[in-house]
Amino acid sequence: MGKYFGTDGFRGEANVELTAEKAFKVGRFLGAYFGNGEKARIVIGKDTRRSSYMLEYALAAGLTASGAEAYLLHVTTTPSVSYVVRTEGFDCGIMISASHNPYYDNGLKLINGAGQKIEAEIENKIEAYIDSEKETLPYATREEIGRTIDYTAGRNRYIGYLISLATRSFKNMKVGLDCSNGSASAIAKSVFDALGAKTYVIHCEPDGTNINRDCGSTHMEPLQKFVVENQLDIGFAYDGDADRCLAVDEHGKVVDGDAILYVCGKHMKDRGQLEKNTVVTTIMSNIGLYKAFDKAGISYEQTGVGDKYVTENMVSNGYSLGGEQSGHVIFLKHATTGDGILTSLKIMEAVIEGKSTLGTLTQDLKLYPQILKNIRVKDKNLVMNDADVLAAAKQAEEDLAGDGRILLRSSGTESLIRVMAEAGSEELCNESIEKVTDVIRKKGYESL
């Protein structure tokens, strides 16, 4: 990861780490980089944060100052930007969002012409330009100055695309949607209404500061309660930019990304749609998912944490389904990034075509208790290379006798070591974690 760009773009507190000046320079660079003697065409979407408007205008100013045409989708989802870029010939796309973070954070997600996260080498060049003391890019003048163009039509085409993917009517299905006061507020209900569902919506009144606040995919309790109290058939919760989705079954039970992969993986396998009979997961996926896949005769692969790595693996190997426990699920035939609304449509497909309920479809999946503990350290690299720490983690996993695991990894953005345990009970998880963290403390690595 670079100075500004991490695994999910340029993210930080608005007007602290991510300022209007930096956004302007990102626009300046992209407009020049993709110009190549012609006017670059770059599309911008944003979520509902108050700072998204400021950053949208700063990006547009930078793009047009470099001679590019800036197409504005306005409030929309990250996957819609990806869709518009790859289907309508744009040079690249920019999504202004900090995903599930609080409203005061924001971010810039850069998307290449194939609809995937932009290459690291371009991000590195942007960082160098941001930090350069001298202006190295020429300004466009006269008729070469770019324009901003209203492009809500692109968002509408994306909505039409989602509707076209449904294989069955949702008539008589009572569906709850938690739009997280974010991007899904502008899209999700219209899709479900068009497909005939009886749609019940919560957290769909964004005011610029309430995005993700006690709602959405990171706070499932309101949707669980809403589904049970209103006797709904199913519920879906999205994050701020709607690139991920978690579900709630008819009993109010949360169905996480692992369970979604299980339901959709089995459904696709039964219909011959699961390419190479393989689902791509990350190292954070639950051991219970793998045991269920083994029983269902489905193969799987693991990647590092981040939907970027899942997508790379899928594209390289020709797989059709992959995702993360957090709800980023990629259906590569239809999208090149996680798409929360698409994911909910695919779950609906599995339920309706299977003439079943989500609770029934997940009943054979037994997820193990999973506990994650973060320990702040003075030097995470020293910890990750310490033979005693690694030996403690190995021994703790061996003590679980094949019915659990220990995962030790360092944070990509903070001086933290993350110790995750999976086992048959929470007690066993805590005991296993303590065996590892005790060694870290005794060796003096912990930062108090």
Q: Name all domains of the chain by residue range, CATH numbers in brackets.
A: 5-156 (3.40.120.10), 166-361 (3.40.120.10), 370-442 (3.30.310.50)
Rounded CA gap, 155 and 161, in Å?
A: 10
- Greater model confidence, 83 or 2: 83
Q: In what order do the strands lie in the sheet with 254-255?
A: 198-202, 174-178, 234-238, 245-248, 254-255
Rounded CA gap, 68 and 147, in Å?
A: 7
Q: In this structure, are residues 184 and 340 in contact, taking their beta carbons and an 8 Å threshold?
A: yes
Listed residue (58, 1, 73, 52) closest to 25, CA to CA? 58
Question: What band does 375 get if pLDDT is binned at 50, 70 and 90?
Answer: very high
Q: Which two tokens stand for residue 437?
A: 């963290």
Tell me what the pLDDT averaged over the chain comes to.
Answer: 94
Q: Which two tokens stand for residue 253?
A: 């039970």
Rounded CA gap, 11 and 101, in Å?
A: 10
User: Per-residue pLDDT tens for 345-371?
Assistant: 999 999 999 999 999 999 999 999 989
Burial 54-71 (b: 16+ CB within 10 A, else e): bbbbbbbbbbbbbbbbbb
User: Per-residue pLDDT tens for 105-115?
Assistant: 999 999 999 99
- Average confidence (pLDDT) over 165-179: 96
294 is in an annotated binding site: no
Pairing of strands 105-111, 9-13: antiparallel
- Which residue numbers are catalytic? 99
Question: What band does 6 get if pLDDT is binned at 50, 70 and 90?
Answer: confident
Rounded CA gap, 180 and 320, in Å?
A: 28
Q: In this structure, are residues 78 and 243 in contact, taking their beta carbons and an 8 Å threshold?
A: yes
239 is in an annotated binding site: yes
Global confidence as pTM: 0.90
Name the percent of the chain lying above pLDDT 70: 99
Pairing of strands 245-248, 254-255: antiparallel
Angle at 260 between CA 255 and CA 266, to 5 degrees: 130
User: Per-residue pLDDT tens for 323-343?
Assistant: 999 999 999 999 999 999 999
> Which pLDDT belongs to residue 5?
87
Residue 224's CB is within 10 A of a number of other CB atoms, namely 19
